[in-house]
């Protein structure tokens, strides 16, 4: 008898989660290197024999919905010219290497700067990894910093290092850590970049498409209201049933 | 409901974005002003299912996890030290730096500060000062009988005195530079002070090493690009509106729950 409520509740719970994801996408509409996310819903069948609250002859399998996982939209974000020497955008599927607390993380956000001792760092102050994992040092008296399409950084005094650019077989296996960083899980096979192009003086914007997110939000909102409506209708039905039964007795 | 808070972080971040953009636009004619840019970062993620977690006894793993981001934050609003255009003023005490480097200015409390704005004047003792009256370091004194001041690209200051054929060298302007000029702290009045992030100042004569050269009779304009700022302003405004729609939608969803009995 309570099945309607349980189904509608499962629906509403997942819709709230999806609303969270959409809200996060919209909030990060202007975060450099941000990739839009979306949820995957799955049907979850609750077997009738696992249920004990109802009579045997009315047992039915119950179909519920739950959010199984989330996937990232891997579309390239728009590349915006900034004119800042140390802004770097990636064209292709590679990631920058970032060293934080001795662990390597990956990022698409290339707004770099130089710290007090001349090391190339991200805007959060984490080291940008060079090829092989070490830091990249920019000499203090260097004049012209040029970054070529393959990530080699050179100044007027010659080459100072090369950015570590990593590509993954399965981008979905990267775990977002916030601050534009991703951690590689066991499933993500890292390999050196072959096709990613490095662009200096530009930043990759987020790939969130506002129209898509807005429409999705309307859908969520309406679906949520429909679920609420279902609960309301069932509630009314039960109440009128109780009233009618109590009158007839 | 997460989306309410997430929408709020988005609105706060865009509000700060508009603050920075408006400051850039307000300073578009400030000499040697360097534009700022807001750097957004996504916040931490709430892990509901970690990618790579085991999904069965047979050792199958989840190909992608379920992580819900908790919004956006402003990581930094940093300054872009791109060269501004030089405007010719023909004023002999207007100096612009073509290239890297900062003029060194002594604050009234004796501390060092740095500026790119070379709009200088003389005080009652003939010393080179900023428009606020702060001394330029190293101190340069122009004799009272000088009838012309010539400053060359390497910062050497010459004066022409009446009755003297040759120019007299009265001093040398020194510039300071930093490993990371973005790390300098702005204290207003076009002045910056050194921080741990900027590194210590290395000083030298203009034209030496990485330092730029001095252009007498010109002023460096701000490097604010108005078209870019206006475009950013439009984007920021729309992003703000969309975040407010997120909040409104979440509110409507909650309302439909509140109406249940």
- Give the nearest chain B residue to A225 (CA atoms): B256
| Every domain of chain B and the residues it spans | 2-80+224-258, 86-220
Measured between beta carbons, the chain B residues lying within 8 angstroms of A228 are 256-257, 259-260
Residue A56 C-alpha, separation from nearest chain B C-alpha, in angstroms? 30
**Gap between the Cα atoms of A98 and A130, Å rounded:** 9
Confirm if B149 and B161 have CB atoms less than 8 A apart: no
Least reliable range by pLDDT among A1-5, A38-42, A144-148, B145-149: A1-5
Residue B3 C-alpha, separation from nearest chain A C-alpha, in angstroms? 4
The contacts found for B18-23 with CB under 8 angstroms, 24 or more apart, are: B18/B233, B18/B236, B18/B237, B18/B240, B20/B77, B21/B229, B21/B232, B21/B233, B21/B236, B22/B233
B138 in contact with A, Cβ within 8 Å: no
- The size of the A-B interface in CB pairs under 8 A is 231
DSSP strand E in A73-223: where? 79-81, 88-91, 95-100, 103-107, 112-114, 120-122, 127-128, 146-147, 152-155, 158-162, 165-168, 174-178, 181-184, 190-192, 197-200, 202-204
Which residue of B17, B64, B82 is in closest CB contact with A172? B64
How much of chain A exceeds pLDDT 70, in percent?
A: 94
Pairwise pLDDT comparison (B48 vs B111), residue with the higher score: B111
Q: Which residues contact B245 (CB under 8 A, 6 or more apart)?
A: A214, A217
B231 in contact with A, Cβ within 8 Å: no
Instruction: Inspect the interface and report whether the beta carbons of B197 and A82 lie closer than 8 Å.
Output: no
The per-residue pLDDT of chain A, averaged, comes to: 87
pLDDT > 70? residue A104: yes
Q: For residues B12-21, give the mean pLDDT.
A: 94
* Dihedral pair phi/psi, residue B215, rounded to 5°: -115, 110
Residue B30 C-alpha, separation from nearest chain A C-alpha, in angstroms? 20
Q: What's the pTM?
A: 0.81
Which residue of B13, B37, B199 is in closest CB contact with A116? B199
Q: How far is CA A163 from CA B51, B121, B182, in A?
A: 27, 46, 21
* Dihedral pair phi/psi, residue A148, rounded to 5°: -85, 175
| Nearest CA among A147, A18, A11, A29 for reference residue B17 | A29
Residue A132 C-alpha, separation from nearest chain B C-alpha, in angstroms? 24
Q: What is the per-residue pLDDT across B74-113, written as a single tens digit (0 to 9) for each?
A: 988 888 888 999 999 989 999 999 999 999 999 999 999 9
According to the model, what pLDDT value does residue A63 have? Answer: 85
Euclidean distance between the first and the last CA atom of chain A, given in angstroms as a whole number: 22
Confirm if A151 and A167 have CB atoms less than 8 A apart: no
- Give the nearest chain B residue to A71 (CA atoms): B64
Q: For residues A65-82, give the mean pLDDT.
A: 87
Which residue of A19, A123, A172 is in closest CB contact with B76? A123
B121 in contact with A, Cβ within 8 Å: no
């Amino acid at each position: 008898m309570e099945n309607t409520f349980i189904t509608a509740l499962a629906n509403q719970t997942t819709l709230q989660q999806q609303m969270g994801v959409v809200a996060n996408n919209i909030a990060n509409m202007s975060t450099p290197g941000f990739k839009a996310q979306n949820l995957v819903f799955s049907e979850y069948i609750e077997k009738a024999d696992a249920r004990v609250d109802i009579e045997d002859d009315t047992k039915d399998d119950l179909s519920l919905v739950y959010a199984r996982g989330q996937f990232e939209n891997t579309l390239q974000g728009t590349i915006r010219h900034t004119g800042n020497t140390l802004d770097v955008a990636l064209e292709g599927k590679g990631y920058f290497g970032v060293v934080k607390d001795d662990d390597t993380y990956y990022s698409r956000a290339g707004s770099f700067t130089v710290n007090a001792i001349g090391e190339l760092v991200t805007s959060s102050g984490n080291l940008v990894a060079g090829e092989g994992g070490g830091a990249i040092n920019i000499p203090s008296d260097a004049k012209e910093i040029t970054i070529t399409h393959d990530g080699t950084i050179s100044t007027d005094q010659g080459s100072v290092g090369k950015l570590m650019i990593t590509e993954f077989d399965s981008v979905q296996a990267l775990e977002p850590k916030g601050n534009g960083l991703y951690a590689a899980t066991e499933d993500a096979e890292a390999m050196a970049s072959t096709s990613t192009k490095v662009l200096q003086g530009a930043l990759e914007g987020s790939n969130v498409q506002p129209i898509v997110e807005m429409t999705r939000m309307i859908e969520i909102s309406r679906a949520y209201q429909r679920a609420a409506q279902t609960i309301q209708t069932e509630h009314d039905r039960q109440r009128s049933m109780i009233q009618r039964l109590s009158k007839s007795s | 409901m997460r989306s309410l808070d997430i929408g709020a972080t988005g609105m706060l971040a865009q509000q700060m974005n508009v603050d920075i953009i408006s400051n850039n636009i307000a300073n578009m004619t400030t000499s040697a002003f360097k534009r700022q840019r807001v750097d957004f970062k996504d916040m931490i993620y709430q892990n509901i299912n970690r990618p790579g977690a085991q999904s069965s006894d047979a050792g199958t793993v989840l190909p992608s996890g379920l992580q819900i981001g908790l919004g956006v934050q402003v990581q930094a609003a940093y300054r872009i030290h791109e060269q501004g255009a030089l405007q010719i003023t023909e004023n002999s005490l207007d100096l612009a730096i073509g290239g890297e480097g900062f003029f060194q200015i002594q604050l009234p409390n004796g501390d060092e500060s740095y500026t790119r704005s070379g709009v200088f004047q003389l005080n009652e003792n003939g010393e080179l000062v900023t428009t606020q009256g702060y001394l330029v370091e190293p101190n340069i004194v122009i004799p009272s009988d000088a009838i012309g001041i010539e400053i060359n690209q390497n910062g050497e200051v010459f004066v022409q005195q009446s009755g003297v054929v040759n120019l007299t060298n009265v001093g040398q302007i020194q510039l300071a530079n930093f490993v990371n000029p973005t790390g300098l702290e702005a204290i207003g009045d076009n002045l910056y002070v050194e921080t741990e992030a900027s590194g210590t100042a290395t000083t030298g004569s203009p034209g030496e090493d990485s330092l730029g050269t001095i252009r007498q009779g010109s002023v460096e304009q701000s490097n604010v690009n108005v078209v870019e700022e206006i475009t950013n302003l439009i984007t920021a405004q729309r992003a703000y509106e969309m975040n407010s729609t997120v909040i409104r939608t979440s509110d409507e969803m909650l309302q439909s729950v509140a109406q249940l009995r």
